[in-house]
Amino acid sequence: MTDDKMTMPMNGDHSDDMMMHGGHMMHMGNLRRKFWISLVLTIPMLLMSDMMGMKLPFQITFTGSDWVVAVLGTILFVYGGAPFFSGAKGELQEHKPAMMTLITMGIGVAYIYSIYAVIANNIFQVHPLVTNFFWELATLIDIMLLGHWIEMNAVMSAGSAVDNLAKLLPSTAHKLVSGKIQDVAISELVAGDQLQVKAGEKIPADGNLVSGETSVNESMVTGEARQVTKRSQDKVVGGSVNGAGTFEMTVTGTGDSGYLAQVMKLVSDAQQSKSSQENMADRVAGYLFYAALFVGILAFFIWLFVDNLTMALPIAVTVFIIACPHALGLAIPLVVARSTSIAASNGLLIRNRDAMEQVKGLRYTLMDKTGTLTEGNFKVAAFKSVVPEQNDQEILALFAALENGSSHPLAVGILNAAKQKKLSLQQASDVKQLTGVGLQGVIDKTTYRIVSGAYLDKQQVSYDRKAFSKLASAGNSVSFLLKGKNVLGYVAQGDQIKPAAKNLITSLKEQNITPVMLTGDNEETAKKVAQQLGITEYQAQLLPEDKERLVRRYQKKGKVMMVGDGINDAPSLARADIGVAIGSGTDVAIDSADVVLVKSDPNDVVEFLELARKTTRKMTQNLWWGAGYNILAIPLAAGILAPIGFILDPMVGAVLMSLSTVIVAINALTLHVRREKTE
């Protein structure tokens, strides 16, 4: 991750409560403190105020008590209402009134009307007395603050599943200073520090080995259970566990910029980004604002005509207070918080919330072959020289010299074969990747290229097509060694299909989603793998731009999900309606995909689809609960049932509002995913 990107602290500190409402990120201060202070102010107000004009048994009144309540109410209104005013200001500046505007309208009308009541009763001595709404104002603000505090707790606890990743890091590191070891806190580490990691210890930060050799268990970070051999200049990930060897390393990424910080930032981005359903919730809140404004004003004039000002004004005020859409404001964030928690605990890192909603109507899943459907662990099945001046082992040694230092699965297979043959390797220089072609390097002043059969066909270079077809039809990937325009030899490597890949294809078909395999490998190998998995649509010998073009082509027929390793597939991952990077979560995967699967288990794609559908369903349910309350409450508050003697008062409305909030919270918490892993 580059330095200019935001990183998250790894200590799980959430002292700065932040909240998204109406499209605006607001600083909420300490909601818990704000709620408790507001509650303390509320208690004397309740003891000295009428409730809807009724004297309570415990009510305390004395000369000037109305003014004391007015002062306390003003403090509560300014202090407790501040977060809502801030949100409303942002919404109105963008000409998009939504949740916070409605809340501000409710408490604002209650306060202004109550101040008017105090002045009218105590200065102008009106008769009958005007009923104030300080009792309702105080309880409304308290309910709102409590609801937002509950929401913040839900969001923070949702993040705790990802915060647990930070616990993978040890608390201290062995830092090398002038040749001596000093134990320091990992928070003090910076890029460039030299560390020593002993056998069996957790690696404290991302970095590169500078001496020693070991094997590392990266399963807690990447989901891969196997031991990974690490040598000089190899990368290690903070949080993984060192094996039997002791090594020294240079820090490249600390707690704030390492791999685990990238993982946490993914969830942070997901919680802060806007989904289309949230936009719909904002639009609904905007409609409710205008509806409440219209109905409230209409009700005022109707009741003014039917009765009098004393009757009309409280009813209009009730409409404005009732319109507060607290449940609607919580409807989406609580579901997303719960969904994010479930996803994170299962290794599904949702970078873009919109990806969840795109699952509805999904028609095609395009998948890379190597590393997604197959293990990506290649083994050399055959190698051969086709020129008299070099034997087979010399050809393999040239391949290995060019691939030396590469972590590509094909390179690893070649290097392992050379190691088993105990071949001595020459030093290659000016080695570089050729996009869509292969590899190029210089050995002993001679330039060599490692290319595919497709490249040879395109360049019209002759080679043994019969041998190539025989090896490829057996499921091998065949690479050729080229000097100039002359083929010197080839290496054929076989890959193994992942055990869970078949289950993925079957599951997609059961959901009426067409699986399509895309690969840069040869036609014969692609056909072999497709047949084994039951895939009828596949494309072979593709360059990165070809995959991106195919994504666009399939998008003309319906929504497309692209599943790849996040490296060569970056353009197509970014282009697809849903981009899923399956693998260890590299920088490219993080930058290009909507969803990153930390594990390399294809079954996690199935889990993502299930979670996405359930999340969208919960969002829709909560929107109905939230909006349905307002749709019913506003006309009731306006007095539509007054002819039969029923008018909804603000207190009852506040109780119903808090009840609807509890309902959407409980509904969000019932979101879960149960799936048995297919081994």
**pLDDT tens digits along 26-54:** 444 577 889 999 999 999 998 898 765 55
Q: Pick from 236, 233, 161: which is nearest to 202 by CA? A: 236
Mean pLDDT of 139-151: 72
Q: Which pair of structure tokens corresponds to residue 635?
A: 């006309």
* Topology agreement, domain 353-373+499-593 and domain 379-494: no
| Per-residue pLDDT, 1 | 34
Q: Averaged over 273-283, what is the pLDDT? A: 54
Q: Which residues are catalytically annotated?
A: 368
Nearest alpha-carbon partner for 425 in 452, 445, 443: 443
The beta strand positions in 565-657, using DSSP E, are 578-582, 595-597
Helix (H) / strand (E) element for 431: namely: strand 428-434
How does residue 665 score in pLDDT terms, banded at 50, 70 and 90? confident
- Decide if pLDDT at 332 tops 60: yes
**DSSP characters over 250-303:** EEEE-TTTSHHHHHHHHHHHHHHSPPHHHHHHHHHHHHHHHHHHHHHHHHHHHH
CB atoms within 10 A of CB 194: 17
Residue 386: how many CA atoms within 13 Å on its side-chain side? 18
At residue 451, does pLDDT exceed 60? yes
pLDDT at 56: 62
Which pLDDT value is given to residue 601?
A: 79
Residue 284 has pLDDT above 50, yes or no: yes
Task: Map out the domains of the chain as residue ranges.
Answer: 18-163+266-339+619-669, 170-254, 353-373+499-593, 379-494
pLDDT at res. 66 = 92
User: pLDDT value at position 436?
Assistant: 64
- In this prediction, residue 227 carries a pLDDT of 59
Confidence of residue 258 (pLDDT cuts 50, 70, 90): low
Q: Is the pLDDT at 582 greater than 70, yes or no?
A: yes
pTM of the predicted structure, to 2 decimals? 0.59
Query: What does the pLDDT average to over 101-107?
Result: 83
Q: What's the length of the chain?
A: 679
Q: Higher model confidence: residue 154 or residue 80?
A: 80
Q: Is the pLDDT at 559 greater than 60, yes or no?
A: yes
Residue 525: pLDDT above 70? yes
Tell me which DSSP letter residue 129 carries.
Answer: P
Is the domain spanning 379-494 CATH 3.40.1110.10? The answer is yes
User: Six-digit token pair at 243?
Assistant: 């094996």
Counting residues of the chain whose pLDDT is more than 70, the rounded percentage is: 78
Overall average pLDDT of the 561-586 stretch: 74
Would you say residue 407 has pLDDT above 80?
A: no
Q: How confident is the model at residue 282 (pLDDT cuts 50, 70, 90)?
A: low
Q: Which tops the pLDDT comparison, 197 or 522?
A: 197
Residue 514 confidence (pLDDT): 96
What gap in Å lies between CA 636 and CA 650, rounded to an integer?
A: 11
Architecture of the domain whose range is 170-254: Distorted Sandwich (2.70)
Helix (H, G, I), strand (E, B) or coil at 208: strand
The pLDDT value recorded for residue 151 is 52
> 47: buried, middle or exposed (CB in 10 Å: 19+, 13-18, 0-12)?
middle
Q: What would the two tokens of residue 239 be? A: 């949080």
Rounded to an integer, the average pLDDT of 630-658 is 76
Tokens of 432: 């570089």
> Does the pLDDT of residue 174 top 90, yes or no?
yes
Is pLDDT at 389 greater than 50 in this prediction? yes
3-state secondary structure (DSSP) of residue 3: coil
| Residue with the two structure tokens 């009828």 | 536
**Both tokens of residue 554?**
């399939």
Task: Provide the sign of the torsion angle of the four alpha carbons 266, 272, 273, 275, taken in this order.
Answer: positive
CA distance 280 to 22: 10
Buried b (16+ CB within 10 A) or exposed e, 161-174: bbbebbebbbeebb
CATH superfamily, with its number, for domain 353-373+499-593: HAD superfamily/HAD-like (3.40.50.1000)
pLDDT band per the 50, 70, 90 thresholds, residue 330: low
